[in-house]
Amino acid sequence: MDVVKEEFQDGVYAITLNRPEKRNAMDLELLNAFCHALRNAQERKASVVVIRGSGHSFSAGGDLGEVGRSPGRIDSMADALHRGIKLIRKMDAIVIAVIEGLAAGAGVGLAMACDLSVAERKAVMNVGYRRIGLTPEAGGSFFLPRIVGAKKFNEFYLFSRNIDMKEAEERGLVNFVWDEAELEGNLRNMIAELTALPMETVPQFKHLVNTSIYGGLDLHLDRERFSVSQLGNKEQFRTRLDKRLREK
């Protein structure tokens, strides 16, 4: 089974994280395949890239079982994930995250890196990292404070509570929230509306946004990777992770 599915039609490149039995938790295989899919979309000059998860869930974040495989695994996973985040920001296409079910940890960072995010009304977000004794990565500590402000970001991280889509829309984490029955139709209509306008502006628009709002992203991702790698190699994290995995 392909851990990432790809489909290209009428200028729209659909990338689907495909580990439904794990709620699309990200292991190293999935992350590398995801980066490959993003490069394919860029090479094929997609106008719009849609990122979503299979099995009615966006992504539960990093695969904890994968993290526990070896002391250096978390660093390799963060490196692959951050390559994907950089590709999203630098590619010429409009990138849309479609959030269904759960978006947790790295899944939240991934959605925030996209140009637009839409969500199914019953979806839930959770920054989540503190629950397992890690700091954010996937740009979570970069994009979120810029979107919601420092105090609200601190709240989301320190309490690691669920965020429903009413709050997510109010705080600017998602652009549109739709009922499940109308999600696919509204998504198609939104893409049609976006692509009906001049598309040659998009690469320069994204460059301006990256310069004005997201300057310093690459360096910050390196700092996030260093932090999770340091914490992930501490004995207290390994003990906590082993306990959590036994409870599942």
Give me the mean pLDDT over the 220-243 stretch: 87
Region 121-132: mean pLDDT is: 94
The amino acid occupying position 234 is: K
Is the pLDDT at 247 greater than 80? The verdict is no
Closest residue by Cα to residue 50 from 11, 102, 101: 11
| pLDDT at 38 exceeding the cut of 80 | yes
Q: How far is CA 101 from the centre of its chain?
A: 14
Q: Which residue has the higher pLDDT, 65 or 24?
A: 24
Q: How confident is the model at residue 24 (pLDDT cuts 50, 70, 90)?
A: very high
- 63-68, long-range: CB within 8 Å, 24+ apart, which pairs? 63/19, 63/22, 63/25, 63/26, 63/27, 63/30, 64/25, 64/132, 64/241, 64/244, 64/245, 65/27, 65/245, 66/25, 66/26, 66/27, 66/28, 67/232, 67/241, 68/238, 68/241, 68/242, 68/245
User: Which tokens belong to 234?
Assistant: 């501490």
pLDDT at residue 246 is higher than 90: no
Token couple for 153: 């970001």
pLDDT in tens, 186-202: 999 999 999 999 999 99
Greatest CA separation found in the chain? 54
Confidence band for 71, pLDDT divided at 50, 70 and 90: low
pLDDT at 69: 66
Q: Global pTM?
A: 0.95
Element (H, E) at 225: helix 217-232
